A and B are shown apart, each in its own frame.
Chain A
Amino acid sequence: EPEVTQTPSHQVTQMGQEVILRCVPISNHLYFYWYRQILGQKVEFLVSFYNNEISEKSEIFDDQFSVERPDGSNFTLKIRSTKLEDSAMYFCASREGVGGQNTEAFFGQGTRLTVV
């Protein structure tokens, strides 16, 4: 069964450092997403990406965050200068283009980011 893969599974970084979280979505999918989940809290939407541009972003997704699809397979989330409150699980998801709301999203297993 096709799956979304995320690397690394766990990343520890010092406050103020840049981190890049990587995702390989399912190959024929056209919509890509990043979500995050702070420990013990809800899964929160960060950004959606379609046709090589951001289609929607949340208030959380400020200037410190950026996304990129550098080639045909990877989808990355960059945090420019990490803060302690960026510590969370980050989930990548992808969805087919055809079918709209009648299709499911596939999530990766997440990257646990710890900012120290």
Chain B
Amino acid sequence: DAKTTQPNSMESNEEEPVHLPCNHSTISGTDYIHWYRQLPSQGPEYVIHGLTSNVNNRMASLAIAEDRKSSTLILHRATLRDAAVYYCILYTGTASKLTFGTGTRLQVTL
């Protein structure tokens, strides 16, 4: 499995934007970049995914570097409910499993 590297933890103030980085220098041409998060005591939850172009949805934006070796998940206005562990995962193959790393633990403070 191609690997991703994320900071262990980040902090943000409520109502401010948060940029969560992910490095994936060994990404292959067919790997999709997926982001999931896990709120305390809950199952993982899909956030966003992309292949080459930047993506937006109601939860977040995903900025993908031109060489695809890194990406950034952007939460435009963090709230206390966004406090979670965020996982950047490279998704390969039709039936492929998701391989979770340790992710980035995001703390949001007032």
CA distance A104 to B93 in the complex (A): 13
Residues of B contacting A13 in the complex (Cβ-Cβ under 8 angstroms): none
Give the A-binding residues of B (Cβ under 8 A): 30-32, 34, 36, 38, 42-46, 49, 51, 87, 91-102
Contact B97 A33 (CB under 8 A): yes
- How far is B102's CA from A35's CA once the two chains are assembled, in angstroms? 15
**A38 CB to nearest chain B CB (Å):** 13
B-contact bits for A69-87, CB 8 A (1 contact / 0 none): 0000000000000000000
Assuming the A-B contacts A42-B102, A104-B46, A105-B46, are A31 and B34 also in contact, with contact meaning beta carbons closer than 8 angstroms in the complex? no
A45: which of B45, B49, B87, B97 is its contact (CB, 8 Å)?
A: B97
Tell me the minimal C-beta distance from A86 to chain B in angstroms.
Answer: 18
Interface of A, secondary structure class, is: strand
Q: Which residues of A contact B98 (CB under 8 A)?
A: 33, 35, 45, 93, 105
Q: Which of A55, A104, A109 contacts B43 (CB 8 A)?
A: A109
Complex CA–CA separation, A25 to B85 (angstroms)? 24
Q: Once the chains bind, are A104 and B44 in contact (CB under 8 Å)? A: no
Interface of chain B, main secondary structure? loop
When the two chains form their complex, are residues A102 and B95 in contact, meaning their CB atoms are under 8 A apart?
no
Indicate whether A110 sits within 8 Å of B43 (C-beta atoms), given known contacts A31-B95, A50-B95: yes
User: Which of A31, A35, A100, A106 has the largest count of B CB atoms less than 10 A from its CB?
Assistant: A100
| Chain A minimum-CB-distance residue to B90 | A101
Chain A residue with Cβ nearest B34: A104
Chain A residue with the shortest CB-CB distance to B101: A42
Contact B92 A101 (CB under 8 A): yes
Compute how far the CA of A56 lies from the CA of B92 in the bound complex, rounded to whole angstroms.
13
Known: A33-B97, A56-B95, A101-B31. A109 touches B102 (CB 8 A): no
* CB nearest to A4 among chain B residues: B43
Nearest neighbor of B93 in chain A, beta-carbon distance: A101
Residue from the set A31, A33, A107 with the largest chain B CB neighbour count within 10 Å: A107
Q: Please, how many angstroms separate the alpha-carbon atoms of A35 and B38 in the complex? A: 13
Would you mind naming 25 contact pairs between A and B with Cβ atoms under 8 Å apart? A31-B95, A43-B38, A43-B44, A45-B97, A45-B99, A45-B100, A48-B97, A55-B95, A93-B43, A93-B98, A100-B93, A100-B94, A101-B30, A101-B91, A101-B96, A102-B32, A102-B49, A104-B34, A105-B44, A105-B98, A107-B44, A107-B45, A109-B42, A110-B42, A110-B43
